[in-house]
Amino acid sequence: MDARHSTAANSGNETISRVITNMPRDAQARALRELNDLERRVSEGLLASEFPLAFQGIYDVKTGRLVRVEALIRWMHPDYGMLLPDAFLVALDHPLIALQLTCYVIDGACRALANARRLGQPVCPVAVNVPPSVVADEAFAATVVQIAQLHGIEPDLLELELVETEDAARLLAARPLTRPLREAGMRLAIDDFGTGYSSLALLSTIDVDTVKVAREVLKGVPECPRASAVAFGVLSMLESLDVTVVAEGVETQALAQWLAQWPKVLAQGFFYARPTFDYASVPVQERCAA
């Protein structure tokens, strides 16, 4: 392990230790005792820095310019190699693991931003996935601010993404719960929109800056007329709500060109850039739709 990775590991370990230490002693013991095998292994892996972050760019469809970056977590398992989140996300059902992993990712994202600045490179906001149970924690906003300040990063460089679930929709509609995050300057997003968990009626009440449209909504576009009509309706509706719209899973030039009908839409997917483990390696200018 070189000095750079050693520093990253120490920073991540300190963040996890701080999360556990700040819990009441009886809560620490109870939470750790109740972990199942996978949850305990994920917790151990976080402390051992087995979870590197990958970064994928999000681009302006018209210009191909990098606008923001999403932090994605992977598990470099010593026995099974690299595991994608589907292999371990069930462990986030435990509130302690959800909090540990979230703080670990936020710490890694802030560290990457700080390193880029130190090298004189431009930085753009980083999106981080956060479970609703963590966002609902009254101490979470202060924890994020503390982590950001530790790295000299402004909290407004962080966007917190909640996957579209019924719990997420209700949380984002409860402004007293999101107010501490807003007051700290953080942006809020709903991820995988269109997968059917939240009501369309809630779009008028949820407190978000960004809506990320699920790849399933864009499947078959532009080849299939019916799929294109559905996607057109969804994007037109979101555009009228004055939120930033990100189209996920853009893998073809044909889809990118179709999306260019909406000048403010951003896109993420292999057509533009694949994830990279080095924030500085995220392309700042990729192919445009034309």
Tell me the per-residue pLDDT of 192-217, one tens digit each, with 9 for 90 and over.
998 766 567 778 888 899 999 999 99
Q: Whose CA is closest to 274, among 125, 8, 59?
A: 59
* Regions of the chain with pLDDT less than 70: 1-33, 196-199, 286-290
Instruction: Please identify which residue in the block is written with the tokens 């490179």.
Output: 121
Percent of the chain with pLDDT over 90: 69
207, burial (CB in 10 Å: exposed 0-12, middle 13-18, buried 19+):
middle
- Rounded Cα gap, residues 70 and 49, in angstroms: 19
pLDDT at 28: 52
| CATH, domain range 3-281 | 3.20.20.450
pLDDT at 16: 59
The set of long-range contacts for 46-50, using a CB threshold of 8 Å and a minimum separation of 24, is 46/12, 46/16, 46/100, 46/101, 46/104, 47/13, 47/16, 47/17, 49/5, 49/8, 49/9, 49/12, 49/13, 50/75, 50/76, 50/77, 50/78
pLDDT at 79: 96
**DSSP 8-state symbol, 71:** E
How many residues are listed for the chain in this entry?
290
